[in-house]
Amino acid sequence: MKIVILDGYCVNPGDLSWEGLEALGSVIVYDYTAPQETLERCRDAEAVLTNKTCLPAEILTALPDLKYIGVLATGYNVVDVETARRQGIIVTNIPAYSTHSVAQMVFAHLLNITQQVGHHAARVREGAWTHNRDFCFWDTPQIELYGKTLGVIGFGHTGSAVAALALAFGMHVLAYTSKKATQLPAGVTKATLDDLFAHSDIVSVHAPLTPQTRGLVNAARLSLMKPTAILINTSRGPLVDEEALAAALNQGKIRAAGLDVLSSEPPHADNPLLTAKHCYITPHIAWATIEARRRLINIAVDNLQAFLAGKPIHCVD
């Protein structure tokens, strides 16, 4: 079997191995593939793996040998799934591989905002503590999480993992979810979206990107938040109206935001959040721990093995 990986670098920049896939066929790995290169690189392949390289209808219909597409991510909007279905091509994705890593990043942002560890470590190196009169030194508010209310939007794998961490910190948790209240763990209270924004000290977004959720965090909902509230988004950038969030931050309508995703990645230089006050942005790395990436590759191998055995798993359709 000829297996082509179109953009392997982000998943495995050299610190992991493709040997599990190599045991299943002849593997060709490209670090990156430009749109104009996609068709030729996929030609004669029976299996193609992609992370962010698009496989639109015009590509799929020109590949009669293609039987399997493995998306090396949870989101699969890079593939024209309907065309793949008509062509008899199985499409799989990688669910829940980065749950704990993303939940960890939520609290990395939250702890950074509330206690500014990196900032104060830098100030110590600059001599601010050495030359301080008191035994201690801080120049930003120090905020305790215990007793605060965390609102979780979306209560799937990651949302529930974030809630568990919040409960361990002694926080109250509100959840906006399609699940029934009786399905939620102890300590988690179901809430409407507007009530969640109004009553939470921290709002953490974990919803999928759909036409209904695009722009979910908008000016109206930001206006419901407490002026001391914090917004965290580690899910999908377009869930947030970036102009509205920048305005809310610059006008002091909320305390801060911690973001691992933006509407366009890499961001355009004129994205207003890049210069907004108290906006802390990481470059879409919540998923990228070595443990999560190793898990992703292992699941990709399992997916292809299951397909070859005639019992495909994690099919997106």
- Give the count of domains, the chain: 2
**pLDDT surpassing 90 at residue 317:** no
- Give the pLDDT score at 64: 96
Confidence of residue 52 (pLDDT cuts 50, 70, 90): very high
Region of 24 (left: φ > 0; alpha: ψ -120 to 50; beta: rest) is alpha
End-to-end CA gap in the chain: 24
Domain encompassing residue 206: 99-281
pLDDT tens digits, residue range 274-314? 999 999 999 999 999 999 999 999 999 999 999 999 999 99
Q: Does one domain contain both 179 and 237?
A: yes
Task: Please say if 293 is a catalytic residue.
Answer: no
**pLDDT surpassing 90 at residue 156:** yes
pLDDT tens digits, residue range 235-255? 999 999 999 999 999 999 999
**pLDDT surpassing 90 at residue 181:** yes
pLDDT tens digits, residue range 224-233? 999 999 999 9
**pLDDT surpassing 80 at residue 132:** yes
Q: Does one domain contain both 241 and 262?
A: yes
Q: Does one domain contain both 248 and 275?
A: yes
CA atoms within 13 A on the CB side of 107: 19
For residue 304, give Cα distances in angstroms to 118, 153, 254, 267, 268: 42, 33, 46, 33, 36
**CA–CA gap between residue 95 and residue 75 (Å, rounded):** 9
Domain of residue 296, CATH code = 3.40.50.720
Q: Which of 236, 255, 293, 314 is flagged as catalytic?
A: 236
**Closest alpha carbon to 10 in 29, 38, 36, 26:** 29
Q: Does one domain contain both 78 and 127?
A: no
Q: Does one domain contain both 85 and 107?
A: no
Q: What percent of the chain has pLDDT over 70?
A: 100
Tokens encoding 267: 């961001």
Assigned domain for 315 exists? no
Q: Does one domain contain both 172 and 258?
A: yes
Residues 190-212, mean pLDDT to the nearest whole number: 96
Name 117's Cβ contacts closer than 8 Å, sequence gap at least 6. 111
Q: Does one domain contain both 245 and 297?
A: no
Assigned domain for 314 exists? no
- Give the pLDDT score at 259: 98
Q: Does one domain contain both 103 and 88?
A: no
**Closest alpha carbon to 202 in 246, 155, 161, 163:** 163
Assigned domain for 313 exists? no
Residues 110-114, mean pLDDT to the nearest whole number: 98
Task: Please say if 236 is a catalytic residue.
Answer: yes
